[in-house]
Amino acid sequence: MAALARRRRWSLIAIGTILFGAVAFFAAIVAAGFYLSAPARETIGAAPADLPAEPVTIVSGSGATLSGWFVAGQPGGGAVVLMHGVKGNRLTMLRRARLLQSAGFSVLLFDFQAHGESTGSRITFGRLESMDAAAAVAFVRQRLPDERIGAIGSSLGGAAALLGPQPLAVDALVLESVYSDIGTAIANRIRVVLGAVLGGVVARPTAWLFELVLPPLLGMRPADLRPIDHIARMTAPLLIASGTHDDRTTMAETIAMFERAPEPKSLWPVERAGHFDLEGYAPDEYRRRVVTFLAEYLRRPR
């Protein structure tokens, strides 16, 4: 009888430990969701002296008021909207702005909702940010009604360009390091943090749990965060770029996105680049590929 009682006691302890561990693990997932979606606000201040930028504010369908800079270019030279990555802001797009402005383009840099100096309560991995992208393009369209408009979206910015209810109304689109679906994006990042062995075991189950908390946390479903399901609707010419050594948005994902994209399209695998600023990594090739692509579709004949 004593032995049976001990076995029961140890069984209850084991069950309790498992339940406690499961609850603690799920709580950690929720906490991670709050951390990843927390606003990334930053005081930006005035534009650099070498960039002739006008401060602008844009009211977005996301409910946010967006802060940004508008740089006027040459008439007929085209205009480009620059859209930064997650936890970034317009400052991360300054090099691109200078490059494009020197090439004669008009440029709009802005902070997505819940980033930089824009309002907003939560980062939504492209869902609400897609409304910001549409509002930014509409702003430039109203400001420069005779210009063709393009956009460059890096990471989150590229997802925002794809996830809107309607295709983004641009004449050319550059997508840099854009995740294919939120589950894969989370799993990739878990593998990076935990390593190939442990990450390979827990990445997918953890990503699945993260997807479970999306509806109560951010009011959206995992199905709402699948840029790969939206890319086929695009009506603008596409240039899709990603680093060949990117472990957060893999080349396999990028190729899958590219295969679903409509023509005209082109693919730029950036050799040995990871998940970071492609312009800063390969500036000369970036100028040759990206600026040439935008000029082809945005410049009007003189």
Report how many domains make up the chain: 2
Query: Beta 238-243 vs 172-176: how paired, if at all?
Result: parallel
Whole-structure pTM value: 0.91
Q: Specify the pLDDT at position 26.
A: 47
Q: Is residue 257 assigned to a domain?
A: yes
Q: What stretch of H or E contains 41?
A: strand 40-41
Which of 177, 187, 301, 299 has the alpha carbon at shortest distance from 250?
177
Q: Is residue 25 assigned to a domain?
A: yes
Q: What stretch of H or E contains 25?
A: helix 2-37
**3-state DSSP call for residue 32?**
helix
Could you tell me if 169 and 135 are in contact, meaning their C-beta atoms sit under 8 angstroms apart? no
Q: Is the pLDDT of residue 16 over 60?
A: no
Provide the 10 A C-beta neighbour count for residue 52. Answer: 12
Could you tell me if 24 and 73 are in contact, meaning their C-beta atoms sit under 8 angstroms apart? no
Q: Is the pLDDT of residue 244 over 50?
A: yes
Q: Are residues 263 and 279 in the same domain?
A: yes
Q: Is residue 13 assigned to a domain?
A: yes
Q: Are residues 144 and 233 in the same domain?
A: yes
Q: Are residues 231 and 282 in the same domain?
A: yes
**Summary mean pLDDT of the chain:** 91
Q: Are residues 195 and 137 in the same domain?
A: no
- Residue-wise pLDDT for 170-220, tens only, equals 999 999 999 999 999 999 998 998 888 788 888 888 888 888 888 888 888
Q: Are residues 128 and 275 in the same domain?
A: yes
Distance CA 276, CA 92 (A): 11
Q: What is the DSSP string of 127-189?
A: HHHHHHHHHHHHHHHHH-TTS-EEEEEETHHHHHHHSSSS----SEEEEES--S-HHHHHHHH
Distance CA 41, CA 292 (A): 33
Q: Are residues 149 and 87 in the same domain?
A: yes
Q: Is residue 218 assigned to a domain?
A: no
Task: CATH number of the domain at 46, please.
Answer: 3.40.50.1820
Q: Is residue 217 assigned to a domain?
A: no
Q: Are residues 70 and 127 in the same domain?
A: yes
Phi/psi at 178 (nearest 5 deg)?
A: -95, 130
Q: Are residues 158 and 142 in the same domain?
A: yes
Which of 189, 176, 166 has the alpha carbon at shortest distance from 85?
176
Q: Specify the pLDDT at position 182.
A: 95
Q: Are residues 80 and 174 in the same domain?
A: yes
Q: Specify the pLDDT at position 11.
A: 60
**3-state DSSP call for residue 234?**
coil
Instruction: Specify which residues 70 forms β-bridges with.
Output: 54, 108
**3-state DSSP call for residue 40?**
strand
Q: Are residues 131 and 170 in the same domain?
A: yes
Q: Are residues 33 and 46 in the same domain?
A: no
Residue-range definition of the domain harbouring residue 32: 2-37+186-211
Q: Is residue 216 assigned to a domain?
A: no
Q: Is residue 26 assigned to a domain?
A: yes
Q: Is the pLDDT of residue 49 over 90?
A: yes
Task: State mean pLDDT over 253-268.
Answer: 98
In which band, very low, low, confident or very high, does the pLDDT at 32 lie, cut at 50, 70 and 90? Answer: low
Phi/psi at 276 (nearest 5 deg)?
A: -150, -175
Q: Is the pLDDT of residue 59 over 60?
A: yes
Q: Specify the pLDDT at position 212.
A: 86
Share of the chain above pLDDT 90, in %: 76
Cis peptide upstream of residue 264 (ω within 30 degrees of 0): yes
Task: State mean pLDDT over 3-31.
Answer: 55
Distance CA 242, CA 79 (A): 23
Q: Is the pLDDT of residue 228 over 80?
A: yes
Q: Are residues 61 and 194 in the same domain?
A: no
Q: Is residue 221 assigned to a domain?
A: no
**3-state DSSP call for residue 255?**
helix
Could you tell me if 84 and 92 are in contact, meaning their C-beta atoms sit under 8 angstroms apart? yes
Q: Specify the pLDDT at position 36.
A: 75
In which band, very low, low, confident or very high, does the pLDDT at 4 lie, cut at 50, 70 and 90? Answer: low
Distance CA 39, CA 177 (A): 21
Q: Specify the pLDDT at position 22.
A: 45
Could you tell me if 118 and 111 are in contact, meaning their C-beta atoms sit under 8 angstroms apart? yes
**3-state DSSP call for residue 298?**
helix
